Structure 1
């Protein structure tokens, strides 16, 4: 949106462009008066000093109708003791807004119980087009997309127990237009647009959990990778240097520490409780995999390539983690591969 403001030297026009505040948060260039009207704080100047970088920070019970809004725990960055339900409402800016992206800048709640359930703390989201799983534990750096689905609001609810925990959160909320090229395809809870990157399950971590599992129960969602021009297939492999980067089913501590790479991988019909789905794979490891399989579980992941489009990985976890000791979920690296004899654009 273009703003016009008056000065003694005449009118000055400027766009509500993105900016970075003095404390590193992302904001929008606005006049000081407009920033105050929407409940924001001006931190640093932009547009040659005639506007401020307006950051909107919200807390429990608040509603946002502004783009690029932050939702944090009370007294952030201090820890939150809990014992209450904290709600935050995203109200879409206009009728041409179709989606919200929520970036977990900071996100630490209580770990799940021994069954993988978010019994003490958790984040739930209502009002979206599809069901968002309950999320708890450590999820800083993750993100999700939620469609408005004809509704005007999406509500975030964080419930916390009364026990002392190191709780802290700060989410960045961005609203995405229906015709925006960064809008995630329908059914994609996570969406990546890079040629290479890392996808992690919720609450994935390199340290264990006293309750014996980091993996969350009751998960069913899609992870999508935007296919770039000139690229026709995608490689998937465990994140290097981490023995636990694929521990999805079974007794992970025993299987991982006593096995060799790839020998604990389970595929196909044997994966019935917790698994990831990657369509039409071709295996690139030393040991060929069975044909016509798309489910992967166990305590290791065999590297593979797929040219099935769109590029999608689906996560499925059942209602509990009974019998799955020490699982941390997965951390998988992806790399898009160029098409044969097709020039790359850009």
Structure 2
């Protein structure tokens, strides 16, 4: 990875940190190139009313093999009703895995390293999809059910990782405490009870899903690989440190409404 570039459309209250392990800090504005060991990228004018972009290029210095971007504070315009980041977004380019998805909405506290779009180092904790907020989207759709809230769940595939401790054999994932802690497909506004959908349920027809590396679930005899719909299983255990969010960009407006994303808890899996 020779360099990484952040592209921000009209940023609002954004700080992006590129970190590598030595104590040197410098503040940056837009359209600059930096080779310092720790650099803060802050939006220029939160009240700007014209369409513009701010570019920050980080040049990899000698003996450094990885850059880590942290987002202590990031609040941008919400996506449209289908989860597309249109008005404002942050995108990272030039990484080994190609360009990141366009990230918008509320994403404070995200910090992805190489190979992961999110990375969580605590032995146990919780993860949230980009722009997960447990309230309806302000963008709406005119459907056969009437005016309905659109999606907070962003359009774009990405990978979520958590550190596996040396004495552990993987991670166990479970739903968060929110009523809408897992709503990535379907229409929870019309369902009296949320439904668990796994594996083939997520392919016929193709829809958004979480991809696990052969997970195991309590009360299920079959391996859990794909999870979609409006309810996460009570638990999914996997030897892997990550799962991938796969997004089908062709959404059925009447079927996918008020999808807020996911809020999952994780703990270390005993050997």
TM-score, length of structure 2 as denominator length: 0.80
1:92 and 2:78 matched: no
Q: Which runs of 5+ in 2 are unaligned?
A: 1-16, 140-149
Greater CA radius of gyration, 1 or 2? 1
Q: Distance in 1 between matches of 2:71 and 2:257?
A: 27
CA shift for structure 1 position 108:
1.2
1:64 and 2:31 matched: no
CA shift for structure 1 position 106:
1.2
Kindly tell me: are residues 337 and 221 of structure 1, through their superposed partners in 2, closer, same or farther at Cα, counting changes over 3 Å? same
1:315 and 2:248 matched: no
Kindly tell me: are residues 80 and 139 of structure 1, through their superposed partners in 2, closer, same or farther at Cα, counting changes over 3 Å? farther
- Show the 5 A alignment for 1:1-346: 55-75=25-45, 79-94=47-62, 96-131=63-98, 132-146=100-114, 187-211=115-139, 212-217=150-155, 219-240=156-177, 242-255=178-191, 258-259=192-193, 263-271=194-202, 272-284=206-218, 288-289=219-220, 291-308=222-239, 310-323=240-253, 324-339=256-271
Q: Which has the higher contact order (CA 8 A, sep 6+)?
A: 2
Q: Distance in 1 between matches of 2:61 and 2:18?
A: 18
Q: Distance in 2 between matches of 1:118 and 1:307?
A: 31
Residue 5 of structure 1 aligns with which residue?
none
Kindly tell me: are residues 98 and 55 of structure 1, through their superposed partners in 2, closer, same or farther at Cα, counting changes over 3 Å? closer
Kindly tell me: are residues 81 and 325 of structure 1, through their superposed partners in 2, closer, same or farther at Cα, counting changes over 3 Å? same
**Secondary structure, in 3 states, of the residue corresponding to 2:151?**
coil
Q: Distance in 2 between matches of 1:222 and 1:280?
A: 16
Cα deviation, 1:1-40, whole Å, max 9, x if unaligned, reads xxxxxxxxxxxxxxxxxxxxxxxx9999x9xxxxxxxxxx
CA shift for structure 1 position 104:
0.9
Q: Which runs of 5+ in 1 are unaligned?
A: 1-24, 31-52, 147-186, 340-346
CA shift for structure 1 position 280:
2.3
CA shift for structure 1 position 54:
6.1
**Secondary structure, in 3 states, of the residue corresponding to 1:253?**
coil
Q: Distance in 1 between matches of 2:42 and 2:173?
A: 34
**Runs (4+) of structure 1 moved beyond 3 Å?**
25-28, 78-82
Is the 8 Å Cα contact of residues 18 and 70 (structure 2) preserved in structure 1? no
TM-score, length of structure 1 as denominator length: 0.63
Is the 8 Å Cα contact of residues 18 and 69 (structure 2) preserved in structure 1? no
Kindly tell me: are residues 283 and 26 of structure 1, through their superposed partners in 2, closer, same or farther at Cα, counting changes over 3 Å? closer
Is the 8 Å Cα contact of residues 214 and 327 (structure 1) preserved in structure 2? yes
After superposition, the CA RMSD in angstroms is: 2.4
